[in-house]
Amino acid sequence: MIENIFEIKHESTDGKSRTGTLHLPHGDVATPVFMPVGTNATVKALTKDDLDEIGFEIILANTYHLYLRPGSDIIEEAGGLHGFSGWKKNFLTDSGGFQVWSLSKLRKITEEGALFSSNIDGSRHMFTPERVVDIQTQFNSDVQMQLDVCTGFGADKKEAVHALEITKNWLRRAKQEWIQKCDSGYQGILMPIVQGNFFEDLRKHSAEFVTGMDLPAIAIGGLSVGEPPELFASTLDYTVNYLPKEKAKYVMGIGTPDYILDAVHSGIDMFDCVLPTRNARNGSYFTRDGNLPIKQERFARDFGPLDPECNCKVCRSYSRSYLRHLFKSQEILGSMLASYHNLYFLHNMMKEIRAAISENRFEEYRTNFLKRYHSDKWKIK
């Protein structure tokens, strides 16, 4: 049996939520955890010191993009992602499967792997499950993801079955390659991915297959691909029922407070999304009263703090008026400050969530948070 790297600290008495600790090569990670996305080994508009200052213990990087530029050999020579970027805590790297899937006109999926054209220069490349394990090993990823085949919302069952069968076969091959890498000294974990689109029988089958592979943690894929929020929540909740409680669980691609709270409610321990920093670059700030659109004229002479309840350095140091000015002037500092605030907000929210779970009041916290968050305070009446 492969060693479990996840330790459950407290299981809430008011639902499935729990706190825990992930024991990873570059330090422990408290869960539930939101992981910022650093596609090119950098979280956009933030330094590694910013992320450390906020308190993050793990960030993401993107295998597809880093393989194409600067290349896995260069990253390996630099000492892996940690040596290359200077970020000394944990990296989770995705497999590149989602990016390959999204490039529908530039790729071909076969039993062997995914053949695709670079979005940079059009050059042709092949990702096999073994090659993707090798690349992420070169990165020295603390958590690496298997190569999988994702299907979008609205896909028919035949397509979903085909994608699932390929994903299962790729997992078998990826696990064999990963074990060989571990035998050679690699310390990162491989995480399998549950697929099956929105068909319950396929979800159940995939969950049971992944469980049988006995890997250290499990990801739930194929969600947040355009489906209605209620279908996301019900599919996630259904899938979790067929996964072992003792394994850490990860849902990819969610990063708004309501989706995060839904995931924690279902017993999920890890999640990530580009949305907090993307929203920031578009002038949208997280607050407890919903997303504040800083570009609005009413903030032109508002010299108060962005969020009086937030203790981040942005809210302590800058006014809404100034932040609006930065955004309207397209100053780089505007993106930097907004990104810092949004990630601080989510990190602080995760600390509150962990405290609420530990005190068996998560469902109360969730209800109260969402009631206020959806109050439409910042909507122009």
Phi, then psi, of 225 in degrees rounded to 5: -120, 30
The span from the CA of 73 to the CA of 320, in Å, is: 45
Q: Are 66 and 91 in contact (CB under 8 A)?
A: no
Choice among 94, 262, 269, 307 that is catalytic:
94
Query: Across-strand partners of 28?
Result: 23
Which residue is it, tokens 């024991």? Answer: 23
Q: What is the DSSP letter of 56?
A: -
The span from the CA of 96 to the CA of 129, in Å, is: 11
Contacts of 110 (CB under 8 A, 6+ apart): none
Burial of 38 (0-12, 13-18, 19+ CB in 10 A): buried
Choice among 142, 262, 269, 272 that is catalytic:
272
Return contacts of 51-55, CB within 8 angstroms, 24+ apart. Answer: 51/87, 51/343, 52/89, 54/312, 54/340, 54/343, 54/344, 54/347, 55/347
* 94 labelled catalytic: yes
Distances (CA, A) of 147 to 118, 126, 239, 268, 282: 17, 12, 20, 21, 32
Distances (CA, A) of 13 to 264, 265, 352: 14, 12, 17
* 272 labelled catalytic: yes
Q: Which residues are identified as catalytic?
A: 94, 272
